[in-house]
Structure 1
């Protein structure tokens, strides 16, 4: 019975609690049992079963008819919570208790939700493995020897393992969609600015957004309603939907398992009525390369000090840097504190020249082909072993870990577009994700499309 409760979707759970067929306390106890059984995943950084049960009881009593009605939610450890420490997985912030909740947390609690735990992550959200030298490696529920993806790896692992039904992450270059693909969950990056961003440990105010994880699209839509106040759009099928297939770059050098799963998913989408047309985004990549990493590196050493001043004034930026334990993260930050730092002129060109050009090209491709979304494999490869931080094996060669995993997910943040990764239907093997990206601001339509696609791929 406990396993069945832990595998309920968020929407099923809320409905059962409201109609009285499920006790919110019994549900919280089932999740606590699940968390204990999967403690070896290191998915959770801050969790207390007694606190969860008490918080659920209180939230349900106060918000019985709220949209979340006492539902427990797990939040990435870089999102401010007054009920749990917020460390961003880095040494100088361990035990840090913010004075105020992040904006997204306030909306969850106002709807009757409960932040039940904080999730492990790549240190300071600056990586895609969640192999954290300070708090330990997060492990993939499908194979604990493998990475869950990152940087929101703990949230994805907790959702995939059935510890929580719904979770918050952040996404700067793919940090919700990559872990979703590797762990077999749904991961959503909304358009930049759709969700509140106050009270989140930043990398880049240009690229960052809070995103979400669940085991079905309906639950992602439920949380989107809580965050925006906008009702979910409905689409019953894919009839009339036009999907662009950007074969150049997105479909190159794929892991055979990813190639097979993606081909099968595309066949199912076409059979369900979608029209799939090949499109080219070739002209966008020179602009993307001049924008993505330079903007992230330039802004992180400016945005982090601002966060500390507002939310953790007892921690200096120098102390934060000194407390970084993961070599890859320390290298990224150190590169911007010396003569190799991104110059202001390069940053200005990125913002004033390259970003407008990317948006123009992207919108043109959508307009000329009457697209509802583009579709592609979320990552070129499945999960790889923990410890392969610098290079991973792909088709018999060693390739750089970070740029390979973010290759397909990095475009959406550059232009502020929404993207959602859905798990492909597999009979065996590791999870594979397929991603749908839409125009900036078209989140509601994208979620409706994703719901229909989810149904089609399950046929």
Structure 2
């Protein structure tokens, strides 16, 4: 058996079921690693007592001959915007400090019922409104492959903790790319489920139209297992033959203006896919940029004022929406919250309704037409146009010799599918010359989650596993001196 900290979700569950390791020992292993590599700041809190108590209960059940759930004893990191009964849920923002929901979010309840153990709360970009995870309230999260770099976000804590082997896997949330961007930048896999496939209640929201929780892990098999647990699906993804698979390669939007190293790694991936028997269909999704622009920000800026208020009422939080606006700590999030709460800059309801009734349906239809006309099984493209950039570059970053907006650039490729509610997967496919991970994305049509997981598993097998990041707790002084 591999070293315990190298075990993924499915492997850890099997090792516990087979009696190769006790759940208590496994949880202790990950708690110790979390305490050792605190410089990554991947967790905002670790719940050692509750985790060990839950692990002992799993061990007692196994010794007693009881049937174990599919995730029994597996420690997971849970993003700090997902309600867990009795645990503080801050969403990375000061006004929610001390907020302890009394009920699990449905997604957390499904995982708990399957035997999963919530090791701790993973850090995030404040209120999930960003991708750097440079959070002024809870601190910057560091990329395990280079602690001077961002991990991606907003689910950066889940991504960093999984990549660093502080957890076998984790649960994040995705509104415009927030499980796929950190997966790409941290060298792991992730799934954004189809809109509505995973329950999104009792999660601090941005947009009920666009938000979804989703799994993050080091392999597709683990994503598949977690997805099956949360959705209650009896469908086990069948092996997919690569020969004859048709993948759309939309060069005109997703492959434009890439960082040279990202482009090199992704083009090599396309060559490998073609050599494996796949047909690459080069065609652009009609009017994609314009259709997405007509709906994306309008939905994301209108719905928070409504949806956050609804969350606060349901979860029993003792704060008001205005408190969240006023107390936002991170400069980029302060600006966003002011824009969406000021009557002078708020999105008018009529504009929002047009985006929902006209522009978003047109975007969804454009994807459907593209898949049908070209007979493709999935779209393939770089998850992000560039690899991780330095912590602190929250406003703009360097790309091909010029400064470009940080947020809009990192989510450029993941945003349209999010607005359309499509399932999306990010796979780790290699490292840049500087040793930073690169992700390859797959998008499918609404409801294609299980088929997309099968395709992703087959593609994943073509690529060697990324080397684990080299971690050294002594690096904390170096990084602190540099920031």
TM-score of the superposition, structure 1-length normalised?
0.97
Change (3 A) 1:390 1:19: same
Q: Which runs of 5+ in 1 are unaligned?
A: none
Q: Cα offset for 1:273?
A: 1.6
Name the structure 1 match of 2:289. 285
**CA-to-partner distance for each residue in 1:308-363, whole Å, 9 max, x for gaps?**
11213411112122221011111111112221111111101101110111111110
Contact 1:60 1:112 in 2 (8 A): no
Name the structure 1 match of 2:316. 312
Q: C-alpha separation between the residues in 1 aligned to 2:388 and 2:258?
A: 13
* Residue 180 of structure 1 pairs with residue 183 of structure 2: yes
Runs (4+) off by over 4 Å? none
* Residue 160 of structure 1 pairs with residue 163 of structure 2: yes
Change (3 A) 1:282 1:236: closer
Name the structure 1 match of 2:421. 416
Matched residue SS, 1:352: helix
Name the structure 2 match of 1:212. 215
* Residue 139 of structure 1 pairs with residue 145 of structure 2: no
Q: C-alpha separation between the residues in 2 aligned to 1:39 and 1:211?
A: 24
Name the structure 1 match of 2:267. 263
Name the structure 2 match of 1:332. 336
**CA-to-partner distance for each residue in 1:52-73, whole Å, 9 max, x for gaps?**
2222222454575211111111
Q: C-alpha separation between the residues in 2 aligned to 1:113 and 1:275?
A: 39
Q: C-alpha separation between the residues in 1 aligned to 2:367 and 2:432?
A: 35
When structure 1 is superposed on structure 2, of 163-172 and 18-27 the one drifting more is 18-27
Name the structure 1 match of 2:10. 11
Q: C-alpha separation between the residues in 2 aligned to 1:124 and 1:426?
A: 30
Name the structure 1 match of 2:361. 356
Q: Cα offset for 1:51?
A: 3.1
Name the structure 2 match of 1:441. 447
Q: C-alpha separation between the residues in 2 aligned to 1:313 and 1:46?
A: 19
* Residue 98 of structure 1 pairs with residue 101 of structure 2: yes
TM-score of the superposition, structure 2-length normalised?
0.92
Matched residue SS, 2:77: strand
Contact 1:89 1:121 in 2 (8 A): yes
Q: Cα offset for 1:170?
A: 0.3
Q: C-alpha separation between the residues in 1 aligned to 2:119 and 2:60?
A: 16
Name the structure 1 match of 2:81. 78
Q: C-alpha separation between the residues in 2 aligned to 1:94 and 1:282?
A: 45
Contact 1:122 1:128 in 2 (8 A): yes
Q: How many residues align?
A: 458
CA-based RMSD: 1.5
Q: C-alpha separation between the residues in 1 aligned to 2:320 and 2:102?
A: 17
Q: C-alpha separation between the residues in 1 aligned to 2:93 and 2:145?
A: 26
